[in-house]
């Protein structure tokens, strides 16, 4: 019987303190993998920029955050190590001048770390992790297998966030790095099927898979009737009110998700039902959101909160009837490409809680899923009214469609099923397949 593989899960350039995505998508998934296959030996190594808010301003929070991660992983005896990177956290989408700092002085360290632990597979979260692993493998002629977990279109995301310009040498450098990693990785994993389709168009590498983001299905699930009524009463929601909820960052001007797009979708939602409310759950600044909603006349029917835990997020979702994925208004081919690959982690949370979704079609992966399974409605920006008739259809069969949402979440976003997918990949790579 073959020995189980030794896996190094590598994150590089991220600051894993008070980061809900890191806690869920990294720590939560590793724990699920270890519970599913106890024989696999796991290590987590986080390369952390030495200059970040937790080393310069909130030092106590840094130590507490590291200790919390150690305790969480300690439940399944997963060793957690950190390594300082001589860079600033704000350089994550690095210009060419800053990019080498993410590898400077790291290759020899990483070579020793891998050899001492007899690592078979390095699971690289994102472009920085994959590049430093690839450089180490090449320089020291190591024989570990490398799994590149893309997570997002990093070069294009840097463009859209204005870290560098289109046509710049900085963008060209990231495209060079991307090509190198894609061509040389032993396997590539993407978070949506549309993402995988795009990656296949960039490389001759054909060991490319889709593993969606994971949702905690033990937490995110529909509330029982009495519990749901209690939650709604707590926030002043009447029995006959239909609630459209949005969870996540939200900007008045520039953002991945804009308030104006959410308002336009809500206006169409209003045309479907007699009594409605807009429920916004965001840690983005509330004052400008309230100001804009007052201008539009919607403030009196808006519930605005911030969620400080996943448990609280779930509670808010359980009070709602539909989930919104409003995104922003796409204006060019780069924005269209990034949107085409996006599925958004909130998609799994909405569906797991039984909420049909209203989705901007620019969010390509999510929109495709919603349309294919009939678990909501999609629209083009500027044609939000097209959802009214579809919403009426859904409302006439709401309980069945809500249950279908839950089933799709179980099939697609289950951390347990994703653990099985990753374990299969690890074993295949370890056995040389």
Please tell me whether residues 62 and 92 are part of one structural domain.
Answer: yes
Nearest to 357 by CA among 391, 382, 399: 391
| In a domain? residue 1 | no
* DSSP character at residue 26: I
What residues are paired with 123 via a beta bridge? 9, 147
| 248: alpha, beta or left? (left if phi > 0; alpha if psi -120 to 50) | left
Largest CA distance in the chain: 68
Residue showing tokens 């399944």 = 76
Task: Identify whether residues 80 and 37 lie together within a single domain.
Answer: yes
Q: The CATH number of the domain where 189 resides is what?
A: 3.40.50.2000
Task: Tell me, yes or no, whether 260 and 124 share the same domain.
Answer: no
Is position 307 within any domain? Answer: yes
Q: What is the pLDDT of residues 183-233, one digit of tens each?
A: 999 999 999 999 999 999 999 999 999 999 999 899 999 999 999 999 999
Residues 286 and 146 in one domain: no
For the chain, the residue count is 433
Pair (195, 243) in one structural domain: no
CA dist 349 and 40 (Å) reads 28
Give the pLDDT of residue 50: 96
Edge-to-edge strand ranges of the sheet holding 80-88: 80-88, 41-51, 6-12, 121-125, 145-149, 187-190, 208-210
Bridge partners (DSSP) listed for residue 7: 42, 121
Q: pLDDT value at position 328?
A: 81
Do 201 and 301 sit in the same domain of this protein?
Answer: no
382 C-beta neighbours (distance < 10 Å), count: 9
The total domain count for the chain is 2
Continuous segment of H or E residues that includes residue 80: strand 80-88
* Nearest alpha carbon to residue 418 among 189, 196, 200: 189
Its domain, for residue 387, covers 225-412
- The pLDDT value recorded for residue 254 is 66
**Continuous segment of H or E residues that includes residue 220:** none
> Do 146 and 290 reside in the same domain of the chain?
no
Q: What is the pTM of this model?
A: 0.92
Q: Are residues 161 and 249 in the same domain?
A: no
Low-confidence ranges of the chain (pLDDT < 70): 1, 254, 433
164: left (phi over 0), alpha (psi -120 to 50) or beta: beta
Residues 413/343, Cβ–Cβ less than 8 Å = no
Does the residue 365 lie in any domain? yes
Question: Are residues 20 and 54 part of one domain?
Answer: yes
């Amino acid at each position: 019987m073959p020995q189980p593989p030794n896996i190094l899960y590598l994150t590089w350039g991220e600051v894993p303190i008070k980061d809900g995505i890191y806690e869920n998508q990294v720590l939560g998934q590793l724990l699920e993998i270890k519970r599913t296959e106890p024989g696999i030996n796991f290590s987590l190594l986080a390369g952390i920029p030495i200059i970040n808010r937790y080393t310069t301003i909130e030092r106590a929070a840094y130590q507490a955050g590291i200790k919390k991660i150690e305790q969480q992983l300690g439940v399944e005896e997963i060793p957690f190590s950190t390594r300082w990177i001589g860079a600033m956290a704000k350089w994550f989408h690095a210009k060419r001048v800053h990019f080498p700092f993410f590898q400077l002085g790291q290759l020899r360290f990483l070579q020793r770390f891998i050899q001492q632990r007899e690592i078979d597979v390095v699971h690289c979260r994102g472009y920085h992790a994959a590049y430093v692993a690839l450089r180490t493998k090449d320089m020291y002629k190591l024989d570990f297998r490398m799994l590149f977990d893309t997570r997002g279109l990093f070069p294009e995301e840097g463009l859209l966030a204005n870290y560098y310009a289109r046509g710049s040498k900085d963008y060209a450098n990231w495209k060079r790095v991307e090509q190198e990693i894609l061509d040389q990785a032993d396997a590539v994993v993407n978070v949506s099927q549309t993402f995988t389709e795009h990656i296949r168009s960039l490389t001759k590498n054909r060991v490319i898979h889709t593993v969606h983001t994971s949702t905690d299905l033990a937490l995110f699930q529909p509330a029982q009737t009495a519990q749901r009524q209690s939650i709604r009463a707590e926030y002043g929601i009447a029995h006959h009110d239909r609630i459209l909820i949005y969870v996540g960052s939200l900007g008045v001007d520039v953002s991945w998700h804009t308030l104006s797009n959410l308002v336009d979708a809500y206006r169409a939602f209003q045309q479907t039902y007699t009594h409605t409310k807009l429920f916004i759950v965001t840690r983005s600044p509330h004052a400008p959101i309230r100001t804009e909603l007052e201008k539009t006349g919607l403030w009196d029917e808006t519930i605005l909160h911030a969620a400080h835990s996943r448990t609280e997020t779930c509670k808010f979702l359980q009070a709602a009837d539909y989930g919104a994925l409003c995104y922003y208004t796409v204006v060019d081919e780069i924005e269209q490409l990034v949107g085409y690959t996006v599925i958004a982690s909130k998609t799994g949370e909405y569906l797991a809680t039984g909420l049909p979704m209203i989705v901007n079609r620019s969010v390509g992966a999510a929109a495709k899923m919603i349309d294919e399974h009939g678990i909501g409605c999609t629209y083009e920006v500027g044609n939000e009214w097209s959802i009214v008739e579809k919403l009426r259809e859904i409302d006439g069969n709401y309980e069945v469609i809500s249950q279908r949402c839950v089933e799709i979440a179980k099939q697609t976003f289950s951390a347990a099923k994703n653990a099985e997918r990753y374990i299969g990949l690890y074993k295949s790579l370890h056995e040389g397949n």
